[in-house]
A and B are shown apart, each in its own frame.
Chain A
Amino acid sequence: MSPFLAVLRRELRLAQRQGSDSLVALLFFVLAVLIVPFGVGPDPDLLRTVAPGLIWVMALLAALLSMDRLFLADHEDGSLELILLSPHPLESVVLAKCLAHWLTTGLPVVVAAPLLGLMLNMDATSLVPLVAALALGTPTLTLVGAIGAALVLGARRGGVLVSLLVLPLYIPVLIFGVAAVDAAIHDFPVRPHLLIEAAILLAALALAPWACAGALRHAAE
C-alpha cells in the first residue's frame, strides 16, 4: 500500500474511533450559524442578505477550530518523528493528513450548509453556488491552515496563535466564496468566481504541502 493511502486510512480510522473531534467542528458550525438569528432578529429579508457571508465566516471558524490538532497529537506522542524518519516524502504524508482532515471536518460542513441556507431563508437557486464555492474553498482552508498548524508546533498558546497567523490568509477564499453566492443572488455569472476559487485551491494544493513539510522539519529539529 502506498504511504499516502496508509496515512489516509490511519487518519480516517483515528477519526472514526475517536469520533467526537470531527463531530464537534460540525456541531460548532451549525450552532454558531443558528445562534445569529437570536442576535440580529428573525427578519427573513435581513437573514437572506447576511446568510452567504454568515455561513462562510462560520465555516472558516469551524475549520480553524480543529486546525491546531492536525499535527499536535503526532507531535506529542512522537509519531511525527517516525514519519519524518521514514524514507517516504513528507509532502505526500502532509497531503494525506490534509485530505483526511477535510473529509472529516470540511465535507460535513459543505453538506450541512444548504440546510442552514434554507433555514436562513436563502433562495433555492443560490444554494447550488454556495455548495460549489464551499466545496472548492474548504479544502484550501485546510491546506493553508495546515501550514499554520505546523508552524506553531511547540509554541506557547499554539491554538490561539494559529488563528492569528491563518485568518489573514483566509480572506481571499472568503471574498471569492461569498462573491460567487452574491453573484447568483443578483443574477450575475457565477462561473468566474468559482474559477478563481478553484485556482486558489490548485495553487494551495501545489504549494502548501511544501511549506507545511518545511515547517514540520524545523519543528522536529
Chain B
Amino acid sequence: MHRYANPAQFLRLARAVQPWAAALTAVCLVAGLYLGIFASPPDYQQGESVRIMYVHVPAAWMALFVYTVMAAASFAALVWKHPLADLFAKAAAPIGAGFTLIALATGSLWGKPMWGAWWVWDARLTSVLVLFFLYLGHMALTNAFDEPTRGARAAAILALVGFVNVPIIKFSVDWWNTLHQPSSVLRLDGPTIDPSMLWPLLLMAIAFTGYFLCLVILRMRAEIAARRVRALRFGRTAG
C-alpha cells in the first residue's frame, strides 16, 4: 500500500488500469442493459416496471460500497497519514453522492406504480436519505478550509463517524418491518431471485463498479495535476 504513496507510482498504475476498467464498464453495461431490457422476462406481479431494478439496485449497492471504501481510506489517511487516501476520499465522495441520488430517484419512480407513493417514511428510504446528506456534509467539510489538508483530515473523521449509518441501512429491512422488500441476492441461504434476472443485475453491478473505478481514477489524476500546478505557481511566485 505504501508503495503507491508516491504519486508517480500511483499514476503509472492508474494509467494501466483505467483503459481496462473503461472497457469492462462498456462491455458489461451493454450486455447488462440488453439482458435487462430485452432478454429478461417481466415480473409476474410488477410487470415491466421491474426493469427499474437493473439500475436501482446496483446504484444502491454502489452508494453503500463507495461510503465503505471511503471510510476505509479515511482510516488509512488518519492512521498512516497516507497521502493518496485523502485524495481518494475527496475524489470518491461526489461520485458516491451521485449513486445515492440515482438510487433515491429510481426508487421514487419505482415506488409510485408499486406502492402508490413517490416517497414513504420507511426505514430503508430514510436511512439512504441520511447517507446522501452525509456525503453532502463530507463534501462541504472538505472544501470549507483554506488549507486543503486540514479539510481532508476533518472530513476523514466525519467519514468514520458517519460509517455507523452503513450497517443501519444494510440491515434496516431486517430489523424493522418496512415497505421496502428485504434482501433477495446477498442472503445466507442463496439468492431467491431467478437466474434470468440475477445475471443482468450482476452485469450491471460490475458495470457500475467499473464506472466508479474509471471516474475515481480520473478525478484523482486531475487532483494530482491540480496540486502540481499549484506547487509550480508557488515556486514561480517564490522564485
Chain A residues within 8 Å of B, Cβ to Cβ: 147, 151-152, 154-158, 161, 164-165, 167-169, 171-172, 211, 214-215, 218-219, 221
Contact A152-B137, Cβ < 8 Å, known A147-B161, A168-B130, A214-B78: no
Give me 16 A-to-B residue pairs in the complex whose CB atoms sit less than 8 angstroms apart, sorted by A's number.
A147-B161, A151-B158, A155-B141, A155-B144, A155-B151, A155-B154, A156-B144, A156-B146, A161-B144, A164-B133, A164-B137, A169-B161, A171-B130, A218-B154, A218-B157, A219-B150
Is there contact, CB below 8 Å, between B140 and A161? yes
Contacts of B134 in A (CB 8 A): 168
Q: How far is the CA of A102 from the CA of B151 in the complex (A)?
A: 28
Nearest B residue to A217, CB-CB: B153
Nearest A residue to B164, CB-CB: A169
Contact A211-B140, Cβ < 8 Å, known A164-B133, A218-B154: no
Q: How far is the CA of A176 from the CA of B140 in the complex (A)?
A: 28
Label chain B's interface by main secondary structure: helix
Is there contact, CB below 8 Å, between B141 and A151? yes
Contacts of B136 in A (CB 8 A): 164
Contact A156-B145, Cβ < 8 Å, known A168-B130, A214-B78: yes
Q: How far is the CA of A168 from the CA of B168 in the complex (A)?
A: 13
Contact A215-B144, Cβ < 8 Å, known A168-B133, A168-B162, A169-B162: no
Is there contact, CB below 8 Å, between B133 and A155? no
Given contacts A156-B145, A165-B140, 19 further A-B contacts (CB under 8 A): A147-B158, A147-B161, A151-B154, A155-B151, A157-B144, A158-B144, A164-B133, A164-B136, A164-B140, A165-B137, A168-B165, A171-B126, A172-B168, A211-B161, A218-B150, A218-B153, A218-B157, A219-B154, A221-B153
Contacts of A151 in B (CB 8 A): 141, 154, 157-158
| Number of A-B residue pairs at CB separation under 8 A | 62
Q: How far is the CA of A156 from the CA of B126 in the complex (A)?
A: 29
Contact A161-B150, Cβ < 8 Å, known A211-B161, A214-B78, A214-B157: no
Is there contact, CB below 8 Å, between A215 and B133? no
Chain B residues within 8 Å of A, Cβ to Cβ: 78, 126, 130, 133-134, 136-137, 140-141, 144-146, 150-151, 153-154, 157-158, 160-162, 164-165, 168
**Which of A151, A154, A214 has its CB near the most chain B CB atoms (within 10 A)?**
A151
Q: How far is the CA of A167 from the CA of B132 in the complex (A)?
A: 12
Contact A161-B141, Cβ < 8 Å, known A171-B130, A211-B160, A218-B157: yes
Q: How far is the CA of A161 from the CA of B158 in the complex (A)?
A: 12
Contacts of A221 in B (CB 8 A): 150, 153
Is there contact, CB below 8 Å, between A168 and B137? yes
- Shortest B237–chain A CB gap in Å is 23
Nearest A residue to B133, CB-CB: A168
Q: How far is the CA of A109 from the CA of B151 in the complex (A)?
A: 33
Is there contact, CB below 8 Å, between B162 and A147? no
Q: How far is the CA of A10 from the CA of B54 in the complex (A)?
A: 59
Contacts of A169 in B (CB 8 A): 161-162, 164
User: Which of B78, B140, B150, B168 makes the CB contact (< 8 A) with A154?
Assistant: B150
